[in-house]
């Protein structure tokens, strides 16, 4: 079945450490997105990519980086510059305007 796979489901980061969240889709969607979810704040856009080898900052890109080397993959790196990384991270993909498909999320915790 087509869908989006996010891994790992749970991730723990030490202070000063970079971590990378994986997002893979087999829907042949052109566009992919990363959202951050915090309680009471809904979902906020971190980065998005409409085509391979191109991506744009969203509303809260500081402390994050992405790459889009393949259509299927859009990994997110949470760098040490992100001072409050504890959150639930959701990856999504879309084709034209026909709705988004979301992954099941990665919960990142700073220890």
Partner 1 sequence: AQSVTQPDIHITVSEGASLELRCNYSYGATPYLFWYVQSPGQGLQLLLKYFSGDTLVQGIKGFEAEFKRSQSSFNLRKPSVHWSDAAEYFCAVVTGTASKLTFGTGTRLQVTL
Complex with partner 1: residue 77 or 88, whichever CB lies closer: 88
Q: Minimum distance between the CB of residue 16 and partner 1, rounded to whole angstroms?
A: 27
| Cβ 63 to partner 1 shortest distance, Å | 20
Site for partner 1, rule CB under 8 A: 4, 6, 31, 33, 35, 40-45, 48, 50, 56, 58, 88, 90, 92, 94, 96-105, 107
- In the complex with partner 1, which residue's Cβ is closer, 14 or 97? 97
| Nearest approach, Cβ of residue 28 and partner 1 (Å) | 15
- Cis amide bond preceding 53, omega within 30: no
One-letter-per-residue 3-state SS of 19-86: EEEEEEECCCCCEEEEEEECCCCCEEEEEEEEECCEEEECCCCCCEEECCCECCECCEEECCCCCCCC
Looking at the Cβ atoms of 31 and 110, the one nearer to partner 1 is: 31
């Amino acid at each position: 079945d087509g869908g989006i796979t996010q891994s790992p489901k749970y991730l723990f980061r030490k202070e000063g450490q970079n971590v990378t969240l994986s997002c893979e889709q087999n829907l042949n969607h052109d566009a992919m997105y990363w959202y951050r979810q915090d309680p009471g704040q809904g979902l906020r856009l971190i980065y998005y990519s409409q085509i391979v080898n191109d991506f744009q900052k969203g509303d809260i890109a500081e402390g994050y980086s992405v790459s889009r080397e393949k259509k299927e993959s859009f990994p997110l790196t949470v760098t040490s510059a992100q001072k409050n990384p504890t959150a639930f991270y959701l990856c999504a993909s879309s084709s034209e305007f026909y709705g988004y498909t979301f992954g099941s999320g990665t919960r990142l915790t700073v220890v």
